[in-house]
Copies of this chain bind each other. A is one copy, B any other.
């Protein structure tokens, strides 16, 4: 119990292909390295996908929703009804992630991992409900170890099913009122840093609510004593259903050589779970942006990722991931569409 049946096999990066891609980029009509991170991104995507001419036609954002019992401690500025209301908004195409996904040409896959109420059926809603919200982590574990394992497995299943329709690159996104609280707890357990250093204001709480939030997270860790050497233990004690599901998406995507663009703080917490289950996932991760949430940087540093964008964003849903995907596609077009010095008859450096 509490063990995932199978952590899928992950190959990791093909370094030879990465080098080959950089060599190819060096022959394009520009000073070597002058497109900076776009060049790194293109080589990385070649190394992940093992395709010398990857197409990023099929782009998918996985937006997973779940509720959190800890909201009864007053850790969020929004009431928890907002979780299902936003799921309906996703399904109608009116949320931030819908707009940005449309802009970059990605489809949004919306999954109920554990919303606290029953959602009206919808042809585009995938229901993988592990429970009606987690339990209050300030008082005990969020979920059982078995539920934690099932959340991860559900995420893998969602990815695998969607993969049949075609996925060249994917992004992670979240919706769950209160979910920066478990994310801070997860970040603190794995990085060993203090809760205070890793806790932000989520959707926008005031000073007093912030002090309370820090105290609640500290208490959650004290009460549950999650074991940093056991990612399932951490997820079950201070995690969330959507966080577990996204960890599953990351594991499944990495095993299929699909690059994963991770969004902000909650996606970062999911990446921590996946990384501590199988460190090789790191090779397949692209950090889209640096969130306003103060703990996000520590999460990315811990895994060893450097964010592409810093636009002062803190919405979640996969909004940062969508913008990061746009850069990923731009990078591949640079590599595959630009002329070479030879084909364009342009002289190379004179030294």
Contact = CB atoms under 8 A, between A and B. Distances in A.
A338 B37 contact: no
B206 A30 contact: no
User: How many chain copies?
Assistant: 2
A204 interface: yes
Looking at chain A, what size class is its interface with the partner chain? 35 or more
A58 to B, nearest CB: 17
A327 to B, nearest CB: 7
A81 B347 contact: yes
A6 interface: no
A27 interface: no
A203 B34 contact: yes
Interface in A195-221: 203-206, 209
Interface stretch (A86-94, A225-233, A237-245, A277-285): A86-94
Interface in A11-58: 28-38
25 contacts: A29-B86, A29-B95, A30-B95, A31-B204, A31-B314, A34-B292, A34-B315, A35-B96, A36-B312, A37-B312, A37-B313, A77-B351, A78-B349, A94-B338, A94-B339, A95-B344, A96-B334, A96-B338, A99-B330, A99-B334, A103-B329, A204-B349, A206-B351, A311-B327, A323-B327
Given A78-B350, A89-B344, A203-B349, 17 more contacts: A29-B94, A34-B313, A35-B315, A37-B313, A77-B351, A82-B346, A85-B345, A85-B347, A89-B339, A92-B344, A96-B334, A99-B334, A100-B333, A209-B351, A309-B309, A310-B310, A326-B326
